[in-house]
Chains A and B, each alone.
Chain A
Amino acid sequence: MEILMIFVAGIIISVSVYLVLSKSLIRIIIGTTLLSHGVHLMLLTMGGLKKGALPIETEGIKNYVDPLPQALILTAIVIAFAVTAFFLVLAFRSYKELGTDNLEEMKEVPKDE
């Protein structure tokens, strides 16, 4: 199970890298979002996918799923969301200001009129 998950996470990361390397701003943002998904899955997998009870204390159960990676992922999700939201607005603003979403055209500092 874990091996399969590692492969899935790896493929997601691989695809996100491909997207991040492209010229279009939209694809790059999609790439970063996808990257965070891949990383979260990887985190979860590394904590071990063993069967156990939900991490909520219940009488008589000793075997729980590891709660620590879940707490880490929860933090990571929120941060990734904050960054994605900021990126999106930044992309929106830069498109309005620069008139392009092509990274190759963004190289030069825009001249003041």
Chain B
Amino acid sequence: MSLMHIMVLLPLIFAVIIPIFYRFYKKIHLGWFVLPIPIIIFSYFMSYINVPDSDKPFIVIWEFMPRLGMNFAVHLDGLSLLFASLISGIGALVVLYSITYLSKNESLGNFYCYLLMFMGAMLGVVLSDNLLMLYLFWELTSISSFLLIGYWRHKKSSIYGAQKSLLITVFGGLMLLGGFISLSIAGNSWSITSLIQNAETIQKSPLFILAMVLVLIGAMTKSAQFPFHIWLPDAMEAPTPVSAYLHSATMVKAGIYLVARTTPIFAINGGFVWTVTAIGLVTLFWASFNAVKQQDLKGILAFSTISQLGMIMSMLGIGAVSYHYTGEESQLFLASIIAAVFHLINHATFKGALFMITGTIDHEVGTRDIKKLGGLMTIMPISCTFTIIAALSMAGVPPFNGFLSKELFLTAMFDSHKAGVFNLSTLGFLLPVIAVVGSIFTFVYSFKYVHEIFFGEYKADQLPKKPHEAPKLMLLPTGILISLVVIFGLFPNILSNSIIAPAVRAIAPYAESPEVHISFWHGITPALMGTLIVFIVGFVLFKSVSKWIKVYAYQPEYLTFNYYYDRGIYLSSYISNKITQSYMTGFIRSYLMYIFSFFIIMTALTIFTHPVSIAFDHISEIRPYEVILMGLILVSTFCIVLAKSRLFSIIMLAAVGYSVALFFVLFGAPDLALTQLSIETISTALFLLCFFHLPKMNRHDEDRKFKIGNFLIAICVGISVITIGLIAYGNRHFDSISKYYIDNVYDLAAGKNMVNVILVDFRGFDTLFESAVLGIAGLGIYTLIKLRDNNKNGGNENEETIE
């Protein structure tokens, strides 16, 4: 265990301590006590900022479950460092923000407990080198996200959103576990580092494709990619700091982390490149298209997050092509990975800021509905400035950082056709087209976002609260993020060697060292043309948005994925209910039917699928006494079935019992005969005693169909029993062990009656528990008769008295 382990576990440890603390100390807002934790973690990771640059990944292992291969191995390279600093840095800002956002009346103990749990889990995801630990933390992020979305659990929509996100992300998580297991079987290790070193063995393995598909499903569900994106908009029911932290900056990027992390293993496969790129682009387009129609500020941001994640995903997909090249061409596609990493950072900054602004507006104005908002520019000037910067960065307008990453993105898409692999050169022309169209809609919703809040008509009468500028403490974290947006925009190269280059090396260890240099002006390139098209068309569409917004009405409800999700949830419970009701009838007869039918079918199957040989070597001769007795038994048995009177059937039952005793006499079993005779007498007496109180024998109108069903089953059971008996008797493999008892009954046990000696000496335990059974039955009968519920007499329902 090292300091690094402590840093990962620190939030989890405090997640336990904080709620206890909260119980006893309520004067100061709990957030202040939580705030130092992410700051400590952030500064700790910042101290490593130059370490990954030396290309030596930093690994510390804490043996946790070594026999399972599940070790808590922390692995710090450029990619992990990037994510860890994002998580702790934005975590600190979000905690700071939540101090003013959440009032002391909320259950803060829960909130910060969940938030710290999430922070620790997320750090674990990005720092784990062990696949099993990664999966553990992965599911912990799902669970803590579920808890945070459902934080206001009195709201129905919170519960719905939380359930939806849990179902979808855990579905993906389980797929991921399958993928991890296949990976570890293929590469014979649980450690990601050694799996990447053994990438060639894995690529040859037959499990390769399976592992890839499962890991991708896991990554796509977590990162809200098409068509699993539907959980993210509903997750907006969470408090805004949560949305800012989980659903824009960190958790949804876990899938991106995973794709980036496994790129060195999977990049050889064309399916990987195409799936990641295509899903990313479809997500980019579909979400940015849908973001425009949203009426809720957080709804716009949710779809915008989905679309930006799709953009990063598609860049990773194109970047994977670099695996197939060396030298200059490799650098060409490596630029796409650089763009992905850069945009990852940029998105975290501006999207975090936008969420915080949304929260501020919600907090100060009381609504997030864009129909009610408008004209707030003069009332909230600082927020307005922040929003404009963040939204312009999101739209990709210079001089902010979003512009740089969008340029790099378009460049990567325009360059994709240069690849000579996986048909990228023939089909690849589609990629820049989709990318540009997606960017146009991004432009439209970004402008619309600013316009709807701060410009236009001020509707004072529709606002629940009288708006005013946000408190300073709320603006501070937003301001820090906004200043980062500007700084990264103006001086992009401060990041390039310290953070981006190591991260790119971690994603593409096979490539020669990438040159990361981000500059504003590349000359007149196709990407610049693309950007111009985006600006012009985007501006035109934005101006005319009220005219074409009607197109969204044309999408019928049954073509949305939400519709299928809801139908699926409803149908699965409806169908399982129907199925259960169809066989759980509540009648004991039905269940007996199932049991007997199963017995019959299994017997029939076994007999028909196995060769059966019956040889009767040891058959004794047929003697007249036994045959007569058999006749007697059969006649009395059938009399029981046909009997109309209960007395007659009891007597016939007794006749069967006495005949069985006679059999015991004939077959040389005196003890059995004695027991059978006495017990038959007692049970007949009992039957008579009980039947005295029971009603007259009543067949309860069993109709013909009922009888035939029973008859068939009874016959089949009989045939099965007889067949099994015949086969068992006809195939003897061993002699009886009774020889030992017969030989030693007197020498060892000093008795001459073999049956009795077996009962009390050789196999005395049987007898002990048989007596126990008899005792329990006696007690049971006593309690049945003596103890009764007297609530009919108006007594206490739970109170039982002995009469």
Contacts and interface: CB of A to CB of B under 8 A. Distances in A.
Q: Which residue of A68, A79, A95 has the most chain B CB atoms within 10 A of its CB atom?
A: A68
Contact of B672 (A8, A22, A25, A70): A70
Nearest to B777: A82
Interface in A58-113: 58, 64-68, 70-75, 77-79, 81-86, 88-93, 95-96, 101-104, 107-108, 112-113
A108 B745 CA distance: 55
A16 B518 CA distance: 88
A75 B770 contact: yes
A51 B754 contact: no
A108 B586 CA distance: 8
A89 B653 CA distance: 18
Contact of B630 (A4, A40, A101, A112): A4
Interface residues on B, range: 35 or more
Contacts of B745: 57
A24 B669 CA distance: 35
Interface in A15-66: 15, 17-27, 30, 33-34, 37-38, 40-42, 44-58, 64-66
B152 interface: no
A19 B669 contact: no
A2 B620 contact: yes
B737 interface: yes
Contacts of A56: 670, 752-754
A68 B738 contact: yes
B766 to A, nearest CB: 5
Given A3-B726, A6-B729, A89 B766 contact: no
Given A10-B722, A41-B663, A79-B773, A86 B781 contact: yes
B715 interface: yes
Contacts of A44: 663-664, 667, 669, 672
Given A46-B728, A67-B758, A17 B675 contact: no
A18 B710 contact: yes
B777 A93 contact: no
Contacts of A6: 722, 725-726, 729
Contact of B587 (A11, A19, A107): A107
B693 A55 contact: no
B785 A89 contact: yes
Interface residues on A, range: 35 or more
B637 A11 contact: yes
Contacts of A24: 697-700
Chain A contact residues: helix, strand, loop or mixed: helix
Given A26-B646, A74-B755, A85-B683, A104 B668 contact: no
B686 A66 contact: no
Contacts of A84: 683, 686
A72 to B, nearest CB: 8
Contacts of B603: none
Contacts of B759: 71, 74-75
Given A67-B742, A89-B785, A49 B667 contact: yes
B672 A42 contact: no
Contact of A23 (B660, B700, B754, B797): B700
Interface string B277-301: 0000000000000000000000000
Given A21-B593, A90-B784, A14 B754 contact: no
Given A70-B669, A92-B690, A21 B710 contact: yes
B508 to A, nearest CB: 66
Given A24-B698, A102-B700, A86 B713 contact: no
A42 B719 CA distance: 14
Contact of A85 (B623, B668, B686): B686
A22 B709 CA distance: 10
Contact of B725 (A14, A45, A67): A45
A107 B623 CA distance: 49
Interface string B774-796: 10111011001100000110000
B668 A54 contact: yes
B524 to A, nearest CB: 82
A11 B683 CA distance: 22
B646 A17 contact: no
A85 B700 contact: no
Contacts of B797: 112
A19 B589 CA distance: 11
Given A21-B714, A26-B646, A92-B690, A53 B668 contact: yes
B558 to A, nearest CB: 40
Contacts of B702: 22-23
A8 B714 contact: no
B598 interface: no
Contact of B754 (A12, A15, A55, A81): A55
Given A8-B634, A53-B668, A15 B722 contact: no
Interface string B425-459: 00000000000000000000000000000000000
Given A34-B653, A48-B618, A67-B755, A20 B630 contact: no
A9 B721 contact: yes
Contacts of A22: 699, 702, 710
Contacts of A88: 686-687, 690
Given A77-B676, A78-B774, A15 B717 contact: no
A66 B695 contact: no
Contacts of B763: 71
A58 B742 CA distance: 11
Contacts of B200: none
Contact of B693 (A3, A5, A92, A112): A92
Interface string B723-747: 0011011000000111001100110
Lowest 3 CB-CB distances: which A-B pairs, in order? A14-B718, A10-B722, A18-B714
Given A18-B710, A79-B770, A89-B780, 17 more contacts: A2-B618, A9-B725, A27-B649, A30-B649, A48-B736, A54-B670, A57-B752, A57-B753, A65-B667, A65-B669, A67-B755, A71-B755, A75-B766, A75-B767, A78-B774, A81-B683, A86-B784
17 contacts: A5-B626, A15-B718, A19-B641, A23-B589, A34-B637, A34-B640, A42-B721, A42-B725, A44-B667, A44-B669, A64-B742, A74-B675, A75-B766, A77-B676, A78-B774, A91-B690, A102-B700
Interface of B: 586-589, 592-593, 596, 616, 618-623, 626-627, 630, 633-634, 637-638, 640-641, 646, 649-650, 653, 656-657, 660, 663-664, 667-672, 675-676, 679, 682-683, 686-687, 690-691, 693-695, 697-700, 702, 709-711, 713-715, 717-719, 721-722, 725-726, 728-729, 736-738, 741-742, 745-746, 752-755, 758-759, 763, 766-767, 770, 773-774, 776-778, 780-781, 784-785, 791-792, 797
